A and B are shown apart, each in its own frame.
Chain A
């Protein structure tokens, strides 16, 4: 880009949380600067590459602004589109904030049909990200393993590629209303805590807390043994096909799976 030619791009740096990005969307939109000159990023921990000839804005997360954005999309576009956009925001893809932002102008004029417009690059990107998130979340609904700790607390560890805690936790809350359980995202150091008959909540986990989590009971070991035995015997020898097993259950899922160790 030549100096002095036209407007400068404006880049909003958001914190990588739902609230952070939604606040970014609010502030960028509020600036009325022209959508094509606006980009949103979620800088990685090490700090990403800066782009020349752009002005940078750091977004300070604001719960009120975030809620307003969600409410507006729900009301003016549709529930389903809102779910898809929020789903995309859990993605591991650093372009998610920008893609969601740029779907919005079309969404406000087309309404709920906007996601059908798959030839639009932003719509397609959001579609793909949400699909990837939902797919990985669905896999973990099955692949997550709980281990019983002292006092009957169930602990599951996993290291998903996308940020899935808020998507998988409601499923297990519905499934095990009577259990005390913790789902721990070991790579993001965050966990969902569920106390019997209460709503779950999320919070970060310190190193020390992390280390406390290895107190499985002897009853637990018995059931782990039985589960491994079951997985082994249920396979039909004449049909053995490790390649197929690998493609349906890739290695990165297996890290915390009881029967794979």
Chain B
């Protein structure tokens, strides 16, 4: 008994160290794939994702987020695990990861595993360890829940692909949007190393879909929104994609990838693996906000390119937390730039669900988000010529552009107006935020109050209505409005040399 206790203590200490070093990764979603449970197995997945708890910072806990090891040969300035840091290093064995995952899972603590890793010895060796762990978990422990794993930049394409057969979602962190930023803060990484595995996963998903049907990965919100905007059916858009991704246009840009060999379903895989499909929940990435001086416009342009050209499901934004003392890292007196991060997420939603483009949200002349107004309000105020919008007649995407109307309420409006003429009272019941929407809409030709369609007038009233009311996660005990504005001024200085995202 004493021995077991000792072992558990060891596992406890490892868990403390390896979850502590994994916590700066933001992605913790368990969404994107619906998979039924099966006899002899443990687990299923829900497309909407399930949050299992919330930690003291208010972030969702859905997955057991750990590193396989915190040993790392790289020396990225912003990372707590960089090789030059003097911290305790340790590794899980694959068995330990499997035990923790399955025991946590059956108590319903978690939705699955998020496995990341420091780079031990070499990217290939690390990737092999990850694959070994995932295979053990899937095949020996019969774990059928959600798995998110990292593709290690610089690892062999075939290894990345192999991991994709065991994972539900994969991600490669872009971290910094400019090549120059990467060079300065992550000297061992480069654009190509990061984008190659990303492309490899994308190709795998596409070809997997063609070979295995839709279990080869569903499409993200950005894709569906663009499809609806262009009025195409799913089939038409998929065919168009195939031409774009594998046709002539593609050949010019991806010779490096072709050299790595084509994609085929490895023969060693069991039927259950093939049934699960290749990275069925798609891929995501993460960007650090505020470690380097790029503008919001540069970031959003890169993000848009990632959605369009790499078919990412999600991009996550991580307000920079200064964990290392390094001359190359900015000092942020107001703490992590949470408001900026929040605006990024808002803009991200506008890209994916509302059909906005990055150039509409921000411009070269006004490259940073408005501190006081959300990006959609900001856009609407710059385009007053398109308002007011008539609720009884405007189409879905026009409705979506009204501040205070989101995808849900827009859908409900379109549905409800088939049965009745909608008034302002009805709109409120349908979930429209009238205090914001009222300046921009008419019901049966009438506005709610006599208001002016004038930028200054609306701004003044919008700010009055929401005075002091920032979203809850920006108003923690430690957070004040003053701190936000202090940081936001700091962030605008010295814009870097942004370059387009290409490979």
A contact residues vs B (CB 8 Å cutoff): 113, 116-119, 124, 138, 141-148, 154, 156, 171-172, 174-179, 197, 222-223, 225-227, 229-245, 247-249, 257-259
Min CB–CB distance A14 → chain B (angstroms): 28
Assuming the contacts A236-B23, A242-B56, A248-B54, asked whether A229 and B12 have C-beta atoms less than 8 A apart, the reply is yes
Residue B58 is within 8 A (CB to CB) of chain A in the complex: yes
Tell me the bound Cα distance from A103 to B478 in angstroms. Answer: 49
B contact residues vs A (CB 8 Å cutoff): 8, 11-12, 15-16, 19-20, 22-24, 36-44, 46, 48, 50-62, 64-65, 100, 103-104, 106-109, 111, 145, 319, 321, 335-336, 338, 412, 415-416, 418-420, 422, 426, 429-430, 472-473, 475-479
Q: Do A239 and B104 touch (CB < 8 A)?
A: no
**Residue of A141, A154, A197 with most chain B CB atoms under a 10 A cut-off:** A141
Q: Do B419 and A117 touch (CB < 8 A)?
A: yes
Q: Do A138 and B108 touch (CB < 8 A)?
A: no
Q: Do B108 and A177 touch (CB < 8 A)?
A: no
Residue in A113, A143, A154 whose beta carbon sits within 8 Å of that of B419 in the complex: A113
Q: Do B15 and A242 touch (CB < 8 A)?
A: no
CB-CB < 8 A to A225: which residues of B?
12
CB-CB < 8 A to B476: which residues of A?
239-244
Residue in A142, A147, A244, A249 whose beta carbon sits within 8 Å of that of B107 in the complex: A147
Tell me the bound Cα distance from A156 to B108 in angstroms. Answer: 9
Assuming the contacts A113-B419, A118-B416, A233-B20, asked whether A142 and B51 have C-beta atoms less than 8 A apart, the reply is yes
Assuming the contacts A117-B419, A233-B19, asked whether A223 and B103 have C-beta atoms less than 8 A apart, the reply is yes
Closest 10 CB pairs of A and B: A244-B58, A241-B476, A235-B55, A116-B415, A239-B57, A174-B37, A235-B56, A142-B52, A244-B473, A249-B54
Assuming the contacts A227-B104, A240-B476, A259-B53, asked whether A178 and B11 have C-beta atoms less than 8 A apart, the reply is no
Q: Do B57 and A241 touch (CB < 8 A)?
A: yes
Tell me the bound Cα distance from A147 to B54 in angstroms. Answer: 19
Q: Do A116 and B418 touch (CB < 8 A)?
A: yes
CB-CB < 8 A to B416: which residues of A?
116-119
Q: Do A145 and B109 touch (CB < 8 A)?
A: yes
Min CB–CB distance A256 → chain B (angstroms): 11
Assuming the contacts A116-B415, A176-B106, A238-B336, asked whether A245 and B41 have C-beta atoms less than 8 A apart, the reply is no
Assuming the contacts A234-B65, A258-B109, asked whether A142 and B479 have C-beta atoms less than 8 A apart, the reply is no
Tell me the bound Cα distance from A230 to B56 in angstroms. Answer: 12
Min CB–CB distance B44 → chain A (angstroms): 5
Q: Do A229 and B15 touch (CB < 8 A)?
A: yes
Assuming the contacts A146-B108, A226-B12, asked whether A141 and B50 have C-beta atoms less than 8 A apart, the reply is yes
Min CB–CB distance A46 → chain B (angstroms): 32
Min CB–CB distance B472 → chain A (angstroms): 5
Q: Do B321 and A227 touch (CB < 8 A)?
A: no
Residue in A146, A177, A234 whose beta carbon sits within 8 Å of that of B55 in the complex: A234
Tell me the bound Cα distance from A118 to B415 in angstroms. Answer: 9
Q: Do B419 and A223 touch (CB < 8 A)?
A: no
Tell me the bound Cα distance from A257 to B22 in angstroms. Answer: 23
Q: Do B39 and A245 touch (CB < 8 A)?
A: no
Tell me the bound Cα distance from A240 to B20 in angstroms. Answer: 15
Q: Do A138 and B50 touch (CB < 8 A)?
A: yes
**Residue of B48, B104, B476 with most chain A CB atoms under a 10 A cut-off:** B476
Min CB–CB distance A157 → chain B (angstroms): 12
Min CB–CB distance B374 → chain A (angstroms): 18
Assuming the contacts A148-B107, A175-B44, A239-B321, asked whether A245 and B65 have C-beta atoms less than 8 A apart, the reply is no
Min CB–CB distance A48 → chain B (angstroms): 27
**Residue of B39, B41, B52, B108 with most chain A CB atoms under a 10 A cut-off:** B108
**Complex: chain A residue closest to B321, CB-CB:** A238
**Complex: chain B residue closest to A147, CB-CB:** B107
Q: Do B107 and A240 touch (CB < 8 A)?
A: no
Tell me the bound Cα distance from A239 to B474 in angstroms. Answer: 9
CB-CB < 8 A to A242: which residues of B?
56, 58, 476-477
**Residue of B51, B56, B319, B472 with most chain A CB atoms under a 10 A cut-off:** B56
Tell me the bound Cα distance from A242 to B416 in angstroms. Answer: 39
Q: Do B54 and A154 touch (CB < 8 A)?
A: no
Q: Do A177 and B38 touch (CB < 8 A)?
A: yes
CB-CB < 8 A to B48: which residues of A?
138
Some 26 contacts from A to B, beta carbons below 8 A apart, are: A116-B416, A118-B416, A138-B50, A142-B51, A146-B106, A171-B44, A177-B41, A177-B42, A178-B41, A197-B39, A225-B12, A226-B11, A226-B15, A227-B107, A229-B19, A233-B23, A234-B55, A236-B57, A238-B336, A239-B57, A239-B321, A239-B338, A240-B476, A241-B56, A243-B58, A257-B53
Assuming the contacts A233-B19, A243-B477, asked whether A119 and B420 have C-beta atoms less than 8 A apart, the reply is yes
Min CB–CB distance B339 → chain A (angstroms): 12
Tell me the bound Cα distance from A236 to B26 in angstroms. Answer: 10
Min CB–CB distance A191 → chain B (angstroms): 16
Tell me the bound Cα distance from A223 to B422 in angstroms. Answer: 55
Tell me the bound Cα distance from A179 to B338 in angstroms. Answer: 43
**Complex: chain A residue closest to B51, CB-CB:** A142
CB-CB < 8 A to B418: which residues of A?
113, 116
Tell me the bound Cα distance from A225 to B44 in angstroms. Answer: 25
**Residue of A119, A146, A148, A229 with most chain B CB atoms under a 10 A cut-off:** A119
Q: Do B11 and A175 touch (CB < 8 A)?
A: no
Q: Do A230 and B321 touch (CB < 8 A)?
A: no
Min CB–CB distance A198 → chain B (angstroms): 12
Min CB–CB distance A179 → chain B (angstroms): 6
Q: Do B426 and A230 touch (CB < 8 A)?
A: no
CB-CB < 8 A to B415: which residues of A?
116, 118
Tell me the bound Cα distance from A235 to B42 in angstroms. Answer: 28
Tell me the bound Cα distance from A142 to B478 in angstroms. Answer: 29
**Complex: chain A residue closest to B425, CB-CB:** A119
CB-CB < 8 A to A172: which residues of B?
108
Q: Do B12 and A234 touch (CB < 8 A)?
A: no
CB-CB < 8 A to A238: which residues of B?
321, 335-336
Tell me the bound Cα distance from A239 to B20 in angstroms. Answer: 14
CB-CB < 8 A to A117: which residues of B?
416, 419-420
CB-CB < 8 A to B53: which residues of A?
142-143, 231, 249, 257, 259
Q: Do A118 and B58 touch (CB < 8 A)?
A: no
**Complex: chain A residue closest to B52, CB-CB:** A142
Min CB–CB distance B420 → chain A (angstroms): 5
Q: Do B58 and A248 touch (CB < 8 A)?
A: yes
CB-CB < 8 A to A257: which residues of B?
53
CB-CB < 8 A to B477: which residues of A?
240-243
